[in-house]
């Protein structure tokens, strides 16, 4: 029998190829995980921005109602938005501050920035929308702040 001398180069090359393929697979899996988290965070952020716009309009509507009926001023409004399963998904906090045209006697109890401005009564609305982490929407909170200056 003839003895052949094998150097083992093919085995080393095969191990190297397997390691390279494993590293590529791990990077692909990591990229997929990061991509899906980014997509869900972008979705939640867009939803929070739309909720901030809606909350601004709703708060303005409520402030106008209080203003026309002569009731106490609306200084703060808190809203909880539930998901499809009925769990609290978003917390919306609004605060209002008023600027009055004259020395308004009905302004008692209002958060007033200024009075006797000579301009129409205005309201500064601050809206903060925060995701509720108990709803397992995201691993980190998403917070949107919107400030709006509206005429009453």
The predicted-structure confidence for 83-98, as pLDDT tens digits, reads as follows 888 888 899 999 998 8
Q: Is residue 81 part of a domain?
A: yes
Is 70 exceeded by the pLDDT of residue 40?
yes
Q: Is residue 4 part of a domain?
A: no
Total domains present in the chain: 1
| Rounded Cα–Cα distance for residues 72 and 75 (Å) | 9
Could you count the other beta carbons within 10 Å of the beta carbon of residue 111?
15
Instruction: Tell me what pLDDT residue 93 has.
Output: 95
Average pLDDT over residues 57-76: 77
Q: pTM of this prediction?
A: 0.71
Least confident of 7-21, 32-46, 86-100, 133-147: 133-147
Q: Which domain holds residue 120?
A: 9-151
Q: Is residue 61 part of a domain?
A: yes
Give the per-residue SS3 of 39-63.
HHHHHHHHHHHHHHHHHHHHHHHHH
Q: What is the pLDDT of residues 128-152, one digit of tens each?
A: 999 886 655 666 788 999 999 988 7
CA distances from 73 to 55, 76, 147 (A): 17, 9, 19
CB 117 within 8 A of CB 138: no
Average pLDDT over residues 43-57: 92
Q: Which residues contact 118 (CB under 8 A, 6 or more apart)?
A: 101, 102
CB 81 within 8 A of CB 88: yes
Q: Is residue 108 part of a domain?
A: yes
């Amino acid at each position: 029998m003839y003895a052949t001398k094998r150097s083992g180069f093919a085995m080393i090359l095969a191990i190297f190829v397997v390691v390279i393929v494993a590293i590529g697979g791990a990077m692909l899996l990591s990229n997929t995980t990061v991509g899906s988290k980014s997509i869900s965070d972008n979705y939640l952020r867009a939803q929070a921005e739309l909720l901030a716009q809606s909350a601004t309009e709703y708060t303005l509507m409520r402030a106008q109602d209080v203003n026309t009926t002569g009731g106490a001023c609306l200084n703060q409004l808190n809203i909880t938005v539930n998901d499809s399963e009925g769990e609290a998904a978003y917390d919306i906090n609004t605060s209002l501050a008023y600027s009055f045209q004259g020395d308004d006697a009905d302004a008692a109890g209002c958060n007033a920035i200024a009075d006797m401005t000579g301009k129409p009564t205005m309201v500064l609305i601050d809206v903060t929308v925060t995701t509720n982490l108990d709803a397992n929407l995201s691993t980190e909170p998403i917070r949107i702040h919107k400030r709006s200056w509206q005429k009453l």
